[in-house]
Amino acid sequence: MHRLLENRNFLGFAFMLPAGVLLLLFLTYPLGLGTWLGFTDAKVGRSGEWIGLDNYIYLWGDAVARLSVFNTFFYTVVASVIKFALGLWLAILLNQNIPIKSFVRAAVLLPFIVPTALSAIAFWWIYDAQFSIISWTLVKLGWIDTYIDFLGQPWAARLSTIAANIWRGVPFVAICLLAGLQTISPSLYEAASIDGATPSQQFWYVTLPLLTPIIAVVMTFSVLFTFTDFQLIYVLTRGGPLNATHLMATLSFQRAISGGGLGEGAALATAMIPFLLAAILFSYFGLQRRAWQQGGGDK
Amino acid sequence: MAAVTLKGVFKSFGSTRVVHGVDIRIEDGEFCVLVGPSGCGKSTLLRMIAGLEEISGGEIEIGGRVVNKVPPKERDIAMVFQNYALYPHMTVFDNMAFSMKLAGESREKMRQRVEVAANILGLIEYLDRYPRQLSGGQRQRVAMGRAIVRDPQVFLFDEPLSNLDAKLRVQMRTEIKELHQRLTTTSIYVTHDQIEAMTMADKIVVMNDGKTEQIGTPLELYDNPANLFVAGFIGSPAMNFLNGKLIRSEAGMQVQMVDGLMLPAPTSAEQEGREVVVGVRPEHLLVRSDGVHAEVVVVEPTGADTQIFCKVGGTDVIAVVRERHQFKPGEAIRLYPELTFLFDPASGKRL
Ligand SMILES: Nc1ncnc2c1ncn2[C@@H]1O[C@H](COP(=O)(O)OP(=O)(O)OP(=O)(O)O)[C@@H](O)[C@H]1O
Ligand SMILES: [Mg+2]
């Protein structure tokens, strides 16, 4: 017993056990159940039979499901790229010596702190066909004559939901990148400026490479959050108009809970997993593991 | 290569002034060391020469050109930072070649020049490594390599050795000195270590509180300190300071020490009766029966010589003697100052 308690492996295992059990219970079980349901024809109130890949085959032929896949990718790619660009720009701005810096930093975090449902409702109001403040302003400025139907037209709705997602996601990206920027020693920039680097060259050759590890982490999270976004769409459009803003997550929920087709919904949700895994692996192998961060002789 | 001239240079951060009107002329090819206690403004001065810090007033000339408004990259200088400031994501080669890459040099030329520098510094086999895979001393060399490759008019060093262990520091000191003899590029070297200053410099600038206290060759400063500060700063162990009084006797002007010992004082007669500070270097204190009374506190034999820590009338005094003595703590001995410097206690000026 005594010797067991001094064994590192055993101790490690013992300390991990509670966490492991919790993970198993609350993570693996629902995940397993969801995946399992995807292979059955379960409906609400009726446990299903194993039907193999039927759900997937059906979804593959379903135009709305395909549209939701397209929407999800469009939403994720456009929102993430813009969030990255805006976030990086904001981070660099905040990293300069500007007056009232701490106030600005706190203000930037605001969209991140507000509960999504609340900000979604705010956006719903902003995008309202009759009371939209944006339309009102533009009309007053004389730039347009009729109010914009932000959420009523497919492309307008897609872009509007993306804009809302960006507003919400930028602070996270900006603050994380700011933290990354602050780890870069100022003397590197001084050395670079003596070496003859212009500010843009300093950004390209010093800032960006040194920031890649944190960019990789932040953008992986950002992509994951965006890819699986649900609340914002659900409050703003419920997937409409004409399913134009349905993401895989919202459609899956609609099919499974509102529509009662548990198996089908679960299958659609399960179909998201490979994409998410791919995103994680890409960031892990592609960006994060750089030789210069590793010890030893690996290259 | 170029001479560097500072004329009435001062620097303020906001309302606090940290460098107060500094005038220095560093000749072409000279190795000049700025030395002084922590916070005296050495780094600030160096960074102004480099162009990393704006000049609040006065003029800095490099090679006869006023560079006050010239950006760092156009000053044709290279700087070695205390923390080396190596780009962690670049190999040693890329670190050293970075300035040439920015200048759009050919790969051929980059390789050639990096290899020349790497050969001088013994870095050839490390060119493919990343900085984190190097030891402190190797990183230090890479930082110097990066400067050498630029072939600048002036090298600037900001405490480049302070992150190294004592042995390596001595070794690198010699290497930098050798390098300078080989390249004969004007160099300005900042340190707070007076031994580094003494061993490396052609010219030492002793700074204190944002002002220059004295400028001269190492031996000038040692043999002829202009004031109390320089006298106490240069030399190790530091100079001893005792109180004394000037009096006139038949043998001319003399200084009377604490316990009545009279020493010749090379001063004019008007100074009679004046209180002075008598500075004696530890190596100028001899154990002799006609000296001042001292009480031994600790004796530290280093082999080559012996350091005797003692008290003379309440003042701590160190003597370094060549002979081997077996003094016991508490023992009364007599120390004779064979060479003294006299200072004015109020202004600190040499008399
Ligand atoms: N950016 C700054 N803002 C305000 N004060 C500063 C700034 N940089 C330096 N100082 C002040 O200027 C003075 C000189 O600083 P400096 O770094 O030149 O000292 P130093 O002689 O290099 O000291 P050390 O040997 O510790 O490096 C210090 O009192 C410091 O507090
Ligand atoms: Mg300094």
A170-186 pLDDT tens trace: 989 998 999 999 989 99
Q: Which ligand is nearest to the CA of B45?
A: 1
Q: How do residues B102-120 score in pLDDT, each as one tens digit?
A: 999 899 999 999 999 998 8
The pLDDT tens digits of the residues spanning B183-203 come to 899 999 999 999 999 999 999
Query: Which has the higher per-residue pLDDT, B262 or B216?
Result: B216
Q: Which CATH superfamily is domain B240-343 in?
A: Nucleic acid-binding proteins (2.40.50.140)
CATH, domain range A53-293? 1.10.3720.10
**Stated pTM of the model:** 0.82
pLDDT range class, residue B269, cuts 50, 70, 90? low
Q: At what angle do helices A101-113 and A63-95 cross, to 10 degrees?
A: 170
Atom of ligand 1 minimally distant from the CA of B47: 18
- Measured between CA atoms, the residue of chain B closest to residue A208 is B89
Please tell me the residue having the least CA distance from ligand 1 atom 4.
Answer: B13
With a 6 A CB cut-off, is B52 part of the ligand 1 pocket?
no
CATH number of B4-233: 3.40.50.300
Sheet arrangement for strand B306-312: B315-321, B306-312, B285-301, B332-337
The per-residue pLDDT of chain B, averaged, comes to 90
CATH 1.10.3720.10 in chain A: give the residue spans.
53-293
Residue nearest to atom 14 of ligand 1 (CA): B41
Per-residue pLDDT, averaged over B240-259, amounts to: 83
Residue A296 is predicted with a pLDDT of 40
Rounded CA-CA distance A183/B22 in Å is 35
Sites in chain A below the pLDDT cut of 50: 295-299
Which of A193, A290, A295 comes nearest B72 by C-beta?
A193
Whether A192 and B98 lie within 8 Å, measured CB to CB:
yes
Q: How far apart, in whole angstroms, are the C-alpha atoms of residue B90 and residue B99?
A: 13
Rg (CA), chain A: 24
A196: nearest CB among B73, B83, B88 = B73
pLDDT value for A266: 86
| Chain B interface includes A206 (CB < 8 A) | yes
Q: Which ranges of A127-153 would DSSP assign to H, the alpha helix?
A: 133-141
- Taking a 5 Å cut-off on Cβ, the residues next to ion ligand 2 are B 43
C-alpha B19 to ligand 1 mean position (Å): 9
Q: Please state the ipTM of this predicted complex.
A: 0.84
Domain-by-domain residue ranges, chain B?
4-233, 240-343
Reading the block at residue B243, the tokens are 């109180």
* Closest residue to B83, CB basis, from A187, A205, A292: A187
Q: Which of B312, B311, B310 is nearest to B321 (CA)?
A: B310
Q: What is the pLDDT of residue A26?
A: 85
What's the pLDDT score for residue A205? 93
Counting Cβ atoms within 10 Å, is residue A152 exposed (0-12), middle (13-18) or buried (19+)? middle
Q: Three-class SS of residue B174?
A: helix
**Angstrom distances, CA of residue A36 to CA of A31, A204, A257, B21:** 8, 48, 16, 80
| Residue with token string 């002075």 | B276
Tens-digit pLDDT profile for residues B70-80: 999 899 999 99
Helices then strands, each counted (H, E), chain B: 8, 19
Q: Decide if B130 and A292 are in contact by the 8 Å CB cutoff.
A: yes
Non-local (6+) Cβ contacts of B223 within 8 A are none
Angle (CA) B60 B66 B71, round 5°: 85
CB contact under 8 A, A191 and B81: yes
* Cβ of B210 less than 6 Å from ligand 1: no
- Residue A117: the pLDDT is 79
A194 with B90: Cβ contact below 8 A: no
User: Which residues in chain B are contacts of A214 at CB distance < 8 A?
Assistant: none
Residue B143 in this model has a pLDDT that exceeds 90: yes
